[in-house]
Structure 1
Amino acid sequence: MKIVVQVRLHPDAAQEAALRATLDLCNEAANLASTEAFRRRIFAKQALQRLTYGHLKDLGLSAQPAIHVARKVAGAYATLKANIRAGHLGEPGSKRRVKAESKPIRFRADAAQPFDDRCLSWRIADRTVSIWAVGGRLNRVRYGCSEQQFATLVAHRKGESDLVHRDGKWYLHATCVIPDVEVEEPDGFLGVDLGIANIATTNSGTRHSGKGLSRVRHRNQRLRTKLQAKGTKSAKRLLKVRRRKEARFTADTNHRIAKQIVTEAKRTGRGIALENLTGIRDRVRLRRPQRVTLHSWAFHQLGQFIAYKAARAGVALVRVDPAYTSQGCSACGHASRQNRPNQSTFRCTSCGFAEHADVNAARNIAARGVADWAAVSLPNAA
């Protein structure tokens, strides 16, 4: 399994200027390669590398950085193609899709640049790196990270690292390949219902409330509106300072919830059953005031966090069809809209079973997890 460890670089003034010049040149070269790829309609990695390698070298790039620039451009077009194929940019002829298809991909001046072990050497003993730059190789650039991150780097770092410049700070995103942990045969499943009022609810009755996160989002939204209307230099400076705070707060909340869910599943010997919510934003129709809440709902991130933490712990994970899990009775199976008199209450109109609505949904998800796991594992056992 691959994970990314982020470390903070601490370059001195001369090193920072060299890193800035390197990133500028790499992205200028990427824009040149992207324009040529779009003009010639050549997007495959090897073909694009052969087409642009000489031009990139003439700009001042060494051999390996030139290759990585060409591959970065090819990867960007592959991502665009995948998004178009998946319908993320709308139907053929839609304004957004036409705009994406009618011009070359452009790279920001501070877009991340990948480096492999030929361009970037890690000096583990003194916690420095040696990195290729346009004016010559930079030696002994200091970096810092937590002890847990450092231990992961020492034991598992392998492959490329991305140089990232964000908010005036320099980072390296190092790829670490962690050996797969054998998944244990689950003794039942822990169903997890994802929502907005309660971010996550398990069939054991644990509810992770979304009130605190919603309160922070609404406060930030009001503050952004106020600062944008003010429009002064100080207001713009505050907007820039605060622009990532909500994302960091959301990610931290999701990390903590995911850790608790995986820990409970591991402790009880169960697997984890999650709803497959792919495409929910396209399926759900809401009033305008509710759209901001839905589109800021980081359910995909929480699902990713649960998935990779489960994989590292050897906990089985399945994604189940969420259809009617909130309307179906976990006791008798009767499904009806009338079973949900309000957001938090479930009361079966057939058998009279009553429970918190999210807990009932989590029980249905857990049951589907058992069925889906059996369908996958039994043929292998045979």
Structure 2
Amino acid sequence: MAQSVRIQPDLQFVKELQAVGGDSLKKCYQCATCSVACPISPASNPYPRKEMVWASWGLKDKLINNPDIWLCHNCGTCSDLCPRGAKPGDLLSALRNMAYQRVNLFPTIGKWMSSPKYLINLIAIPAILWAVIWFIRAGQLGTAFPVTEAGDIVYGLLFPGDFTIDPIFMATFFGMMFCFFKGTKNLISSFKPEGSTLVLGKQKSMLMCLKDVLLEEIMTHKKFKDCGDDRSDRKAGHMLVFYAFLALMVVTGVVAVGHWGGYLFPAYAIHTPLHLAHPVKLLANVGAVMLLTGMAILTNRRRAQEASKTKSNYYDWYLLNVIWAVALTGVLSELFRLAGIPQIAYTVYYMHLVTVWMLFAYLPWSKLGHLVYRTAALTYVRHMGRR
């Protein structure tokens, strides 16, 4: 005789879930259309049907310790085909939004990221930081908009790399990486998949599984094909943004190494601003064009979704707007510098520093954090023998 299990729903959790994007949850009547329609849902314990059941019952522990919520690629097929408009895809997005707060350090930042009423707090931290540096340097130089004797605008005059930009962003980067490390560790340790897993043959190590995930899925976005989005603008937009960030990361790394390495090897030193024909500058401009193009595609797609059954939430628009701000202020900083308009150039560059800091400092709590956490979940399920 089967042993009975007492279920104790967490009604407060249900309310919180509805507040962060799962508001259509109660419309689900368990027809299983969502799991049948999902092209990447596993045959054993398929999602998102079981997540809809657990959410309706308020089974918080089952949901937040479930690796499957990270495997969904948010194609929206389940939401489009749901006969009741329960929007299973929105539910999985809402669960991920809640997970960002749960697995990371400093949950207050996660709370701030969840509502537009806290946006001013997120902006104020870097805005004050860079404004103080601007004020101090302006007092030292005797002007808030310095130019060289030749009349050129050099942002390093106002925001010197050696003792402002480089140390601040290095500390921000390593702080972000530490938060990702702790968050990923907490995420993997929390996974408690349904049932038991039998691995036949030799089990691959987590490191080998990570290599496979990066080469076969992350770098190629192969899952978009499995989701039926291989030829859609969604894949093109994601690929452009992904590789634009890689290009700009390479540019930042080369400039940093060239700058600091120049103290030891002066012949190989890199000094900014770079000439427009410099290979690193060319890569930076190509990356900027790729980023703007990809963002235009993704933003247009997001707007089109507003009229469909797939709902956009604050997490979606926050990330898009921050990346737009980074891209536009970066491009305009270069254009106004070349145009020789110091008042506007320095103001826009200040805004660029604020938005870049926001992008990286808050990355573990933003939707872009799924790049790390989804990779961790994919690696985990591969390690457990599931493909």
Tell me which interval the TM-score lies in, with the shorter structure as reference length. Answer: under 0.3
State the structure with bigger RCO (CA 8 A, min sep 6), 1 or 2: 2
Task: Flag the structure with higher strand content.
Answer: 1
TM-score scaled by length of structure 2 = 0.24
TM-score scaled by length of structure 1 = 0.24
Larger Rg: 1
Task: Flag the structure with higher helix content.
Answer: 2
